[in-house]
Structures are given as C-alpha cells and as structure tokens.
Structure 1
Amino acid sequence: MAYEFQVTQDSTDPHNLADWWAETLGWEVEPQDEAFIRRMISEGHATEDDTKTHNGALVWKAGAAIRHPDRPRVLFQWVPEEKSAKNRMHLDVRVGDDDVDAVVRKLVARGATVLHTGRQGPVAWTTLTDPQGNEFCVSP
C-alpha cells in the first residue's frame, strides 16, 4: 500500500517562511478560510490567541502551508524555540536547466546563506540555509 505524505518544517515564524519558500519554489501559499477561523472562535473551539493577522488576513498562528498540484504539501509549523542543530532531513531544490549560480545569487539576495558547495562525480550542488537557518541544497 502506498501512502501520501507532507513535509513539515518547524519554524518560529511559519507564515513568513511559507511565503519565502512559496516564492523560492514557484508554489502558492495555501489559503486559510477566515470565515471558518472566525466560526471556530465564536463556537468556543479556538480563541483569538490562536490566530494572527498575516498580509492583511486572519490566519491560524500555528502554521502555514505551501502547495503545488503535483507535489507533496509542505507545512511550516510554529514552535517557540529557535533551530539549534543541523537538520536531519532537508529539501533538495532541483532547478533543471536554470543556471544554478544565478538561482543561488537570487536566494542569497532574498535571505538565504551559502554554507558550501559539493561535488560527487558529475553531480554538483550548493548547500544553503533559508532565513531561519534550515539547510537545503540547490542542484541542476
């Protein structure tokens, strides 16, 4: 039996990180239903403290997701603590025919940090961190 999955990333600022990754991957931030959120509050299932305003919309404070119709959903989940160690799992962003160095320069201009470049045989990659310090690689 095959299962579906989503990738979940802990974050101290999930909505801004979701925005960053949606732009990086060319995906969209999953919309949140403001009417549903308000109903959950009015029915006592949630409180105003469970929400925040992001880009002018009422959203759940606990997280934000990005999506692409042909890919697993990525959820950015709020946690109170900053990242403290190397990721045990990371995303590899494959840019195909795009110029890897140009993509890396754009990502750095938007807040990523280059950690190092690597090569194994004919395969080369650049390892970076996103604005919250999560490692990821960019390769052709």
Structure 2
Amino acid sequence: MACRITELILDCADPVRMAEFWCEVLGYVEIGKEGDDIEIGPPETGFGGPQPTLILSRSDDPKPGKLPLHIDVNPTDRDQDAELERLLAAGARPADVGQTGEESWRVLADPEGNVFCLLRKRVGP
C-alpha cells in the first residue's frame, strides 16, 4: 500500500484572493471553509479525487518567493502562450528565479508572490 497527495496547503495573507486566483488557474471551486482557511478542489470530485485539493491557509507570516516546494501547471485546452496570457490576465506575473531563458517552462508568481511554473506540454483536463 502507498500514500498519495490529497491536499496541498499554501500559507497566505489573503485566502479569499488566493482562492479566487487558484480557482481561475485550475478550474477549481470552493469546497469548504474553516475559519479563515478556504479549501478549493475539482468541481466534480472535491477531496479524495485523483487531483489534490488546495487549502489556502490564513497566515500572518506567509513566505512568498521561491519555496522549497512549488506548483507546476500544464495547459489543458490551449497552447502554452495562450495559457500564459490567461494566467497573466488572472493576476499572475512573470518571476525570475535565475532561469536562463532557454527553459521550456515559464516561471510565474501568484498574487502573493509564490513562484509556480507553467509547463509547455498540454495534458487532458
């Protein structure tokens, strides 16, 4: 028997704004709220499905920037350039973590400065 990732927790100053952003990026919906924390996940399956849920946890000490663990996302219904435009319109911004410019992925930051990568390969929804 093995384990699998069911939830990812991201400390943030504004869980509402971050939930809105990540719901837009991932096509997720709010599936629960406990205090200031908001859990978002896939609309049909929520917690326990094949994709992990994301908990935006209110913190007075979030640590934005290049974290030891970061999120990678892939486009599902468009190419990388079109998805980049969509993510920038949703509130992402380009981030520099020392990449050379030759990488196949794009490094971005969410509205609170947490770094994530937009990969090139298109995957199924």
**TM exceeding 0.5:** yes
Normalised by the length of structure 2, the TM-score is 0.76
1:101: which partner in 2?
81
- Mapping of residues 71-86 of structure 1, within 5 Å: 71-86=51-66
Measure how far apart 1:85 and its partner are.
Answer: 4.6
Pairing 1:111–2:91 present = yes
Greater share of residues in helix: 1
2:112: which partner in 1?
132
Once residues 85 and 114 of structure 1 are traced to their aligned partners in structure 2, the CA distance between those partners, rounded to angstroms, is: 12
Measure how far apart 1:3 and its partner are.
Answer: 2.0
Contact map agreement 1:86 1:135 (CA 8 A) in 2: yes
Higher CA-based Rg: 1
2:35: which partner in 1?
60
Contact map agreement 1:118 1:126 (CA 8 A) in 2: no
Greater Cα offset, 125-134 or 70-79: 70-79
Measure how far apart 1:15 and its partner are.
Answer: 2.0
2:2: which partner in 1?
2
1:91 to 61, 71, 91: 71
CA RMSD of aligned residues (A): 1.9
Contact map agreement 2:41 2:53 (CA 8 A) in 1: yes
Measure how far apart 1:4 and its partner are.
Answer: 3.7
Unaligned runs of 5+ in 1: 33-58
What do residues 32-85 of structure 1 show as CA deviations (whole Å, max 9, x unaligned)? 4xxxxxxxxxxxxxxxxxxxxxxxxxx622x11111223111111111024355
Normalised by the length of structure 1, the TM-score is 0.69
